[in-house]
Amino acid sequence: MIIVMKPNAPKDAVQKVTSLIEEKGLTAHLSEGREVTIIGVVGDKTKLEGDNLILLPYVDKLVPITESYKLSNKKFHPNPSRVTVGNHVIGPDTLTVMAGPCAVETEEQLLTIAREVKKAGAHFVRGGAYKPRTSPYSFQGLEVEGLRYMAEAKKETGLNTICEVIDEKSIEAAVKYVDMIQIGARNMQNFQLLREAGRSGLPVLLKRGLAATIDEWLNAAEYIIAEGNPNVVLCERGIRTYETSTRNTLDLSAVPVIRAKSHLPIIVDPSHATGVRAYVEPLAKAAVACGADGLMIEVHNDPEHALSDGPQSLTFSQFEDVMAHLRPYIQLAERKL
């Protein structure tokens, strides 16, 4: 349930409502706009029966939230969220670009890529130190060594860093080296991992599961936010369908749907969605056009010999071209790169 206060309600009236909620053993979450304050109530609402909240001074109306996700719900937080990572803000005014290799292979490789993607306009260098792969015989990542290389890349280039985590141990290591952690598609409903990510203190990028509905995705985000971490960014990376022409099917409709349902920022990963580098640019343009807050694009110094996802990785010149070709779309979307 949310409690909508009347325009310009004084702070003592808001405090009276939140105090009553907390006295009943529930949690109150404030969302303060320029004129209207909304108070979200989390917990067993039956504890408020008989309290006639609507009769309290400056209470305008009570609105039930029927969806199972509350904290990630737009009703709970009407204004779009902005997630600050290092020196960059992911949100409705910017177009954030995360670029880099699927897997960190060597220090020289990562530093070379970081320099080039920064030159082209990226804000983050992405790189996998932990790689949950379909086959147990595929390259699984350099783990802590890879994280150290991520820290070196940040030190040299100033780019923010993001890396996937797969368990509690990898989270404990990642918080020492990177600015943002990623929960991959295969772990979207690993609820204990989501809780640990929420407790990490770092912003979290949550990728959509291979066959997850949007409501399941938002409920996964709820696990992170419920641990006291509101800094969650969603990432649409394609879902599994019957189509075999691409690696997955990129669901661009998820962008406006998320905008209607949630206040959380959403970015799009056209690289993992398609598995084909030739399709990355047109889908990146489409993602910007339909309102995405950012893009995650795989870039490699030598895609033909990449240890992971070479066929979908762009070369430096290809990434530079994509960034240049995106600028008119970014301008039309009234965002800043």
pTM of the complete model: 0.92
Residues with Cβ within 8 Å of 255's Cβ and at least 6 positions away in sequence, in order, are: 236, 266, 268, 287, 290, 291, 292
- The residue extents of the domains of the chain are 2-63, 83-332
Give the C-alpha separation, 111 to 177, whole Å: 15
CATH number of the domain located at residue range(s) 2-63 in this protein: 3.30.70.1140
Q: Convert the pLDDT of each residue in 188-218 to its tens digit.
A: 999 999 999 999 999 999 999 999 999 999 9
Identify residue 36 by its one-letter amino acid code. V
Structure tokens at 182: 């990623």
Give the C-alpha separation, 128 to 140, whole Å: 9
Q: Convert the pLDDT of each residue in 42-99 to its tens digit.
A: 888 888 887 889 999 999 999 988 899 999 999 989 899 999 999 899 999 999 999 9
Identify the residue whose tokens are 């109530």.
41
Identify the residue whose tokens are 């004084």.
10
Q: Residue 121, Cβ neighbours under 10 Å: how many?
A: 18
Whole-number pLDDT of residue 32: 84
Residues with Cβ within 8 Å of 126's Cβ and at least 6 positions away in sequence, in order, are: 98, 99, 100, 101, 161, 162, 163, 182, 296, 298
Give the C-alpha separation, 21 to 59, whole Å: 13
Crossing angle between the packed helical segments 254-261 and 214-225, to the nearest 10 degrees: 50
Identify residue 115 by its one-letter amino acid code. R
Fold of 83-332: TIM Barrel (3.20.20)
